[in-house]
């Protein structure tokens, strides 16, 4: 059963009780990385670890995402700045512990490619805020693997 999370805005990326930030680099330029994030939402299932299905909703203003384990997210896009930033918050989910979640992707040119910075900003009960940092290595590895897969996908297109 889905439940509504607290509605947060872009400033939550800096003020969330739990913030996990990861960076990786691609050979692809920022415009290509941004297009994969914002314009090819269904393509996320091909490169982002754990995503089994993703679809734009309401003309791209929202997204519907399903993870491999069955977790579902209904999201609202909060920032869509071509070549620079893409951010969305989760409005509803079937994940039991989340109170608020926002993800922000920042793209900056780096040596002919792109430096990708992903911020996972969340709130939940104290146990969630304590345990999630323990998952940081696994999330970081999944993020880096996903960015490498995205880079290969973009190189092949």
**pLDDT average, residue stretch 122-137:** 93
Query: What confidence category does residue 154 fall into, taking pLDDT thresholds of 50, 70 and 90?
Result: very high
Query: What confidence category does residue 88 fall into, taking pLDDT thresholds of 50, 70 and 90?
Result: very high
pLDDT of residue 140 exceeding 90 = yes
Query: Environment class of residue 150 by beta-carbon count within 10 Å: exposed (0-12), middle (13-18) or buried (19+)?
Result: buried
Query: What confidence category does residue 77 fall into, taking pLDDT thresholds of 50, 70 and 90?
Result: very high
What's the token pair of residue 58?
A: 């309401």
Contacts of 94 (CB under 8 A, 6+ apart): 1, 2, 3, 70, 71, 72
Query: What confidence category does residue 157 fall into, taking pLDDT thresholds of 50, 70 and 90?
Result: low
Query: Environment class of residue 126 by beta-carbon count within 10 Å: exposed (0-12), middle (13-18) or buried (19+)?
Result: exposed
Residue 6 three-state SS: coil
Domains of the chain and CATH, by start: 3-156 (3.30.530.20)
- Residue ranges of alpha helices (H) inside the chain are 12-15, 30-34, 44-47, 126-131, 136-156
- Residues 103, 119 contacting (CB under 8 angstroms): yes
pTM for the complete prediction? 0.95
Q: What are phi and psi of 55, to 5 degrees?
A: -145, 140
pLDDT (tens digit, 9 = 90+) per residue, 23-70? 999 999 999 999 999 999 999 999 999 999 999 999 999 999 999 999
């Amino acid at each position: 059963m889905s439940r509504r999370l607290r509605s947060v805005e872009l400033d939550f990326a800096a003020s969330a009780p739990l913030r996990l930030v990861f960076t990786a680099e691609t050979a692809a330029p920022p415009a290509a990385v941004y297009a994969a994030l914002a314009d090819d939402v269904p393509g996320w299932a091909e490169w982002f670890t754990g995503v089994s299905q993703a679809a734009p909703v309401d003309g791209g203003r929202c997204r519907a995402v399903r993870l491999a384990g069955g977790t579902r997210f209904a999201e609202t896009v909060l920032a869509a700045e071509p070549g620079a930033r893409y951010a969305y918050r989760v409005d509803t989910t079937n994940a039991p512990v989340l109170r608020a979640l926002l993800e922000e992707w920042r793209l900056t040119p780096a040596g002919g490619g792109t430096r990708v910075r992903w911020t996972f900003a969340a709130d939940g009960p104290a146990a969630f805020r304590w345990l999630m940092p323990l998952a940081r290595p696994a999330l970081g590895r999944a993020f880096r693997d996903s960015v490498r897969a995205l880079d290969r996908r973009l190189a092949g297109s």
